[in-house]
Homo-oligomer: A and B are copies of this chain.
Amino acid sequence: MEKLSTQVCEACRADAPLLTQEEITSLIPKVEGWEITVEDNLQKLTRVFKTKSYAQSLLFTNAVATLAEEANHHPLIVLEYASVTVQWWSHKIKGLHRNDFIMAAKTSESF
């Protein structure tokens, strides 16, 4: 099967189905280092990237932002001195779509 990181996000409609727990369970091993977190009753895909410097944190933040603009799908990014936390979820459907796993895989590749 094609790697997640080379796949392209489809337009996410408000009536697109959330991933089922079974689908999530089968996708999560494909995005190493990412975990499912729950905030405000929303499932999100979260990873903390530890960096060696603030310059690296900032470069990575900009790289993820570029991916986000290209896909027109935007994560939450927490920029700190020696870490960058990235969270992907689909606002329109209030949870996880396959797009989020594609973006998580692309994010990891750009680190």
A binding-site residues for B, Cβ under 8 Å: 54-55, 58, 61-62, 65, 68-69, 74, 76-81
Please give, as numbers and ranges, the residues of chain B lying within 8 Å of A74 by CB-CB distance: 54, 80-81
Q: Bound complex: CA of A2 vs CA of B6, how far in Å?
A: 54
Pair A54/B79 contact, Cβ less than 8 Å: no
Check if B54 sits within 8 Å of A65, measured CB to CB.
yes
A77 to chain B: which residues have CB within 8 Å?
78-80
Residues of the B chain whose Cβ atoms lie less than 8 Å from the Cβ of A68: 54
When the two chains form their complex, are residues A62 and B58 in contact, meaning their CB atoms are under 8 A apart? Answer: yes
Complexed CA–CA distance, A62 and B79 (Å): 10
Once the chains are docked, how many angstroms separate the CA of A24 from the CA of B87?
Answer: 33
> Which 3 pairs from chain A and chain B are nearest by CB?
A77-B79, A74-B81, A58-B65
Give Cα A77 to B69, complex, Å.
19
What residues of chain B lie closer than 8 Å to A55, measured between beta carbons?
69
Using Cβ atoms and an 8 Å threshold, which residues of chain B touch A58? 62, 65
Q: Which residue of B lies closest to A58 (CB)?
A: B65
Distance (Å) between the CB of A12 and the closest chain B CB?
14
